[in-house]
Amino acid sequence: MFLCLNNLTIRKACIDDAELLAKWWNDGNIMAHAGFPNGTGQNKEDIAKSLQSDADQTHRRLIMEIDNIPIGEMNYRNKRKHTAEIGIKICDFSKQDKGYGIIFLSMLINSLFKGFGYNKIILDTNLTNKRAQHVYEKIGFKKIRINFDSWKDQLGVLQSSIDYELTEKDFKNYANIL
């Protein structure tokens, strides 16, 4: 996958990105919302090895760039029955709250619907992540359920999450506004 819109790019993560992904994934400030306030503890060698198993048909890790500078990551996973599960993290805090997330999400979702033939996109987010919830609902995601105290982060703190889903007919493409 290689998607460009003006100065925004989504590209496949490659072995050369393993060091950057290790830096991001081991930063507790970046990973706390995903349950890893101490980071994931993965090293670049293990990440490089795992990237080799990525395939468009099953799952793919992606790098988001602005002006060819990586600012975060995305991923999608084929969940069967024409459903993809996605995730996004803008890891460069200086690029958050600037409207990039909704455009990058729109670029990816449009590609999954139009280019890959998915009928439904699903995701989940922490109940406390109000910024993400606002973006997801603006794009057209529907809240399916709230999972109260359904998992523990690595410190043993109970966390709650929201499950969302999006169909192509409900999708509002914000990449078209540029």
Q: For residue range 7-47, list pLDDT tens digits in order.
A: 999 999 999 999 999 999 999 999 998 889 999 999 999 99
* Distance (Å) of CA 60 to CA 86, 87, 112, 155, 157: 10, 11, 12, 28, 30
Q: How far apart are CA 118 and CA 8, in angstroms?
A: 23
What pLDDT sits at residue 10? 98
Is the domain spanning 2-177 CATH 3.40.630.30? The answer is yes
Residues (pLDDT < 70) of the chain are: 177-178
| Per-residue pLDDT, 178 | 45
pLDDT at 176: 76
Mean per-residue pLDDT over the chain, rounded: 95
What local confidence, expressed as pLDDT, does residue 177 receive?
A: 57
